Amino acid sequence: MDKVTQKDFFKKEGYLVVKDILSTEEVKTCQEEIHLLHQFAAGQETDTEKERADIARRHVQREPFAKDETQGDALPVLRKAENTRQYSEVFKDLAQHPNLIAVLQNLIGDDLLLFRSTLMFKPAFHGSSHGLHQDSAYWPMEPPRLVTVSIALNDATVENGCFKVVPRSHLWGVQEWGGIARQQDAELTDKEDVAKQQMDVPLSAGSALFFHSLMVHGSGPNASPHPRNTALYAYFSPEVRYVTKDGHGERTFPVVAGLEGKTELTFAAQKAS
Ligand SMILES: O=C(O)CCC(=O)C(=O)O
């Protein structure tokens, strides 16, 4: 797909799949880093890594629905790791990978800030589902026009819990049910008309799904013997504002491209509409 077609497709459908964003070698580096972060979570770091491991431990979340506390290799069953760029050079660099930036600049413009840098884990036999939701229903950013990318770091299939999207739902605006977190094993949504429109998005390792922050999406459980790990980043352009209920506060976001080479930008909060 050329750049114009990619942009048109994203605008119309609310998502875009780009194959082979990362090389096999780059995927392997990410997988090794994920293994290391699991070792940190288990307290298995060397003395020189202690500081970084302490920060990582504050950002990992255990899988609340896991049958067992550890995986077969005695590493903990984790659901996700937030703010990865604070303790992982690998995932800090990945947020600025030239192949990602090229697609994002085509979709949202030259100036790019980073809202979120996360790893989503679904270990073999353990990963739980994510009910259908809209990220912008609970993100403090207006207008709701961020772009998330989920980069597959293993082959993501229906069996190991790949993404599900509802094409064109980014045109619906924020739904009152959009931010609801559902019980594990509950139907992905009780809105039959929405559930009917969901579409699986399998990805080969190294490929990426870009999607609009209003797009309804979720993912299934992993009952398979294959892990499904992804790196997930959300980006925005500077016309998107940081908002709070009372309009007080501020927040600093890393710049990943443009903005005259600045490394970060602080946004004074505006009152949410
Ligand atoms: O990666 C997944 O399985 C789902 C993640 C997701 O829906 C989210 O973080 O908003």
Residue ranges, the chain, pLDDT below 50: none
Q: Considering the domain boundaries, does residue 48 fall inside one?
A: no
Q: Considering the domain boundaries, does residue 132 fall inside one?
A: yes
CA 147 – CA 116 distance, rounded (Å): 10
pLDDT, tens digit (0-9, with 9 covering 90-100), for 70-98: 776 778 889 999 999 999 999 999 999 99
CA 57 – CA 268 distance, rounded (Å): 30
Q: Considering the domain boundaries, does residue 111 fall inside one?
A: yes
CA 242 – CA 30 distance, rounded (Å): 30
Helix boundaries (H) for 42-143: 50-59, 89-94, 98-108
Q: How many helices (H) and strands (E) does the chain have?
A: 6, 16
Evaluate the CA torsion angle 80, 84, 88, 89 in order and state its sign: positive
Q: Considering the domain boundaries, does residue 57 fall inside one?
A: no
pLDDT, tens digit (0-9, with 9 covering 90-100), for 174-209: 987 787 665 555 555 567 788 889 999 999 999 999
3-state secondary structure of 4: helix
230 lines ligand 1 (CB under 6 A): yes
The DSSP symbol for 162 reads -
Residue of 84, 128, 130, 203 best suited for mutating to test ligand 1, as the one with most atoms within 8 Å of CB: 130
CATH code: domain of residue 175: 2.60.120.620
Q: Considering the domain boundaries, does residue 123 fall inside one?
A: yes
Please give the pLDDT value at position 83.
Answer: 97
Q: Considering the domain boundaries, does residue 36 fall inside one?
A: no
Nearest-CA residue for ligand 1 atom 3 is: 219
Please give the pLDDT value at position 126.
Answer: 83
128 lines ligand 1 (CB under 6 A): no
Evaluate the CA torsion angle 217, 16, 236, 89 in order and state its sign: positive
Task: Work out how many domains the chain is built from and give that number.
Answer: 1
| Residue that the structure tokens 């993501």 belong to | 156
Nearest to 118 by CA among 93, 77, 82: 82
* Ligand 1 centre distance from Cα of residue 162 (Å): 9
Nearest to 105 by CA among 150, 151, 147, 167: 147
In this structure, what token pair is assigned to residue 153?
């770091």
Q: Considering the domain boundaries, does residue 34 fall inside one?
A: no
- Whole-prediction pTM value? 0.94
Domain residues for 231?
A: 3-22+92-271
* Ligand 1 centre distance from Cα of residue 164 (Å): 9
Are the C-beta atoms of residues 228 and 126 closer than 8 Å to each other?
Answer: no
> What single-letter amino acid sits at 266?
T
Q: Considering the domain boundaries, does residue 266 fall inside one?
A: yes
Alpha carbon of 249 to those of 63, 267, 270, 273: distances in Å?
32, 9, 8, 16
